[in-house]
């Protein structure tokens, strides 16, 4: 098998290494030609994933050198760059693994929805790949898991087979919408967790924040046709816990800097890479309005990220909301709520 990975940042490089370790011939595509030449010479991604040797069965390509065909295309660029990458995905009914954990910022589309609008990818066989997958831990060989999701389980299984290995277990799911949405929205909650820690709040605060945030993103998912169990699994809770509690997470680090009083510009400069949750936070509001879902936690986070309110004011807004019974979603494919008297 051969694969082309679009995106040579830390995530794309980690996925290329993972595929190469499974004996797959990989073309790793990056936008910066000088950087790609440097990586080819050193066999290392010094900028984004330093200290890890890249296997010999990974070759480096600039955008002008993207292969004409691939048995597997892996999209691993930031969500805002996916649209520009789609013309490079070639082949009738191409097999595409979507590893970009974000939402298209121009139309608030999930990644598979965006692919369906483009002439080169509208007939692609698509699966989303998502889970608690911090790039550095993957290349270190630390065990983890992911979910390959597609309405067509044969497509999901082909992606599973390509990526599965001794330390990377891949499950399959039909819930493409849920897996994509969970992977995108947990980045916003990771920023919120970082803000909470940056403010010096304790684990109680962060636990409550993440629980309510998980409820809101699950509620949006159900309104969009996703499955409840997806948000309780590897692609939901699993990814959220990893991203919201790790200093390896770019989104957490951006949030922490905001909580410490830094501007968004300075926080992003300090991280040095794209933090998907920043752009996703605005898209969530669009989706919430589109589907008639109230999401006060996400709304407050977005205001903090944009600098419209201070972090402490965001917390105050959430705490000052009228107290009510806690609502917990129950039952697969259901909008029913089980209410607990928490007075």
pLDDT in tens, 78-110: 999 999 999 999 988 999 999 999 999 999 999
Q: Last residue of a domain, which of 145, 174, 203? A: 174
- pLDDT-derived band at 317 (thresholds 50, 70, 90) equals confident
Q: Last residue of a domain, which of 114, 148, 174? A: 174
Could you tell me if 201 and 289 lie in one domain?
yes
Count how many domains the chain has: 2
> Who contacts 88 (Cβ-Cβ below 8 Å, separation ≥6)?
6, 29, 63, 66
What are the pLDDT digits (tens) for 138-169?
999 999 999 999 999 999 999 999 999 999 99
Could you tell me if 119 and 90 lie in one domain?
yes
Could you tell me if 10 and 93 lie in one domain?
yes
Q: Last residue of a domain, which of 151, 174, 197? A: 174
Could you tell me if 155 and 232 lie in one domain?
no
Task: Of 177, 207, 180, give the one whose Cα is nearest residue 192.
Answer: 207
15 within a domain of the structure (yes/no): yes
* 186 a catalytic residue: yes
- DSSP 8-state class, residue 322: P
Q: Where are the alpha helices (DSSP H) in the chain?
A: 10-21, 33-42, 79-85, 111-116, 135-139, 153-163, 176-198, 203-223, 228-231, 239-244, 250-259, 264-271, 276-291, 296-305, 311-319
Provide the residue range defining the domain that includes 219. 185-328
- Region 254-270: mean pLDDT is 96
| 279 pLDDT above the threshold of 70 | yes
Task: Of 71, 63, 62, 76, give the one whose Cα is nearest residue 16.
Answer: 76
| 336 pLDDT above the threshold of 50 | no
Could you tell me if 88 and 222 lie in one domain?
no
- The predicted pLDDT at position 73 comes to 98
336 within a domain of the structure (yes/no): no
Read off the tokens for 162: 């390509």
Query: Percent of the chain at pLDDT above 90?
Result: 88
Could you tell me if 98 and 196 lie in one domain?
no
| CATH code, domain carrying 114 | 3.40.50.720
- pLDDT-derived band at 341 (thresholds 50, 70, 90) equals very low
Measure the CA–CA gap between 32 and 258, rounded to whole angstroms. 30
Q: Is 291 exposed, middle or buried (0-12, 13-18, 19+ CB in 10 A)?
A: middle
- The predicted pLDDT at position 331 comes to 54
Could you tell me if 202 and 299 lie in one domain?
yes
| 285 pLDDT above the threshold of 60 | yes
Could you tell me if 202 and 157 lie in one domain?
no
Could you tell me if 210 and 159 lie in one domain?
no
CA 192 from chain centre, in angstroms, equals 15
For the ranges 250-259, 314-323, 333-342, the lowest mean pLDDT is seen at 333-342
Could you tell me if 167 and 27 lie in one domain?
yes
Q: Is 25 exposed, middle or buried (0-12, 13-18, 19+ CB in 10 A)?
A: middle
Which of these is catalytic: 101, 186, 206, 219?
Answer: 186
What are the pLDDT digits (tens) for 21-68?
999 999 999 998 999 999 999 999 999 999 999 999 999 999 999 999
Could you tell me if 156 and 207 lie in one domain?
no
Task: Of 101, 98, 102, 114, give the one whose Cα is nearest residue 148.
Answer: 98
Could you tell me if 105 and 226 lie in one domain?
no
| 343 pLDDT above the threshold of 50 | no
What are the pLDDT digits (tens) for 290-308?
999 999 999 999 999 999 9
- DSSP 8-state class, residue 58: E
| CATH code, domain carrying 237 | 1.10.1040.10
> Who contacts 315 (Cβ-Cβ below 8 Å, separation ≥6)?
196, 199, 201, 205, 300
- The predicted pLDDT at position 211 comes to 94
């Amino acid at each position: 098998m051969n694969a082309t990975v679009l995106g040579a940042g830390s995530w794309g490089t980690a996925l290329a290494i993972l595929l190469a370790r499974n004996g797959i011939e990989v073309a790793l595509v990056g936008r910066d030609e000088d950087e790609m030449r440097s990586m080819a010479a050193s066999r290392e991604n010094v900028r984004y994933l330093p200290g890890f040797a890249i296997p010999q069965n990974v070759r480096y390509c600039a955008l002008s050198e993207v292969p004409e065909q691939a048995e597997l295309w892996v999209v691993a660029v930031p969500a805002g760059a996916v649209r520009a990458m789609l013309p490079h995905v070639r082949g009738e009914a191409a097999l595409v693994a979507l590893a970009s954990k974000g939402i298209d910022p121009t139309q608030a589309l999930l990644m598979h929805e965006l692919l369906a609008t483009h002439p080169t990818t509208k007939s692609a066989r698509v699966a989303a790949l998502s889970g608690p997958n911090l790039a550095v831990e993957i290349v270190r060989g630390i065990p983890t898991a992911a979910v390959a999701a597609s309405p067509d389980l044969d497509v999901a299984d082909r992606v599973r087979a390509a990526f599965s290995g001794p330390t990377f277990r891949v499950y399959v799911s039909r819930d493409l919408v849920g897996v994509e949405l969970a992977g995108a929205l947990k980045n916003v909650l990771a920023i919120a967790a970082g803000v909470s820690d940056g403010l010096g709040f304790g684990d109680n605060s962060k636990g409550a924040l993440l629980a309510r945030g998980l409820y809101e993103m699950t509620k949006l998912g159900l309104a969009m046709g996703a499955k409840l169990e997806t948000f309780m699994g590897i692609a939901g809770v699993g990814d959220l816990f990893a991203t919201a509690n790790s200093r390896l997470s770019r989104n957490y680090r951006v949030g922490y800097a905001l909580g410490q009083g830094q501007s968004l510009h300075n926080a992003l400069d300090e991280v040095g890479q794209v933090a998907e949750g920043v752009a996703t936070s605005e898209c969530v509001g669009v989706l919430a309005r589109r589907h008639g879902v109230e999401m006060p936690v996400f709304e407050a986070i977005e205001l903090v990220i944009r600098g419209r309110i201070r972090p402490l004011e965001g917390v105050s807004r959430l705490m000052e909301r009228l107290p009510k019974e806690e609502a917990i979603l129950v039952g697969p494919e259901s909008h029913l709520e089980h209410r607990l008297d928490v007075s």
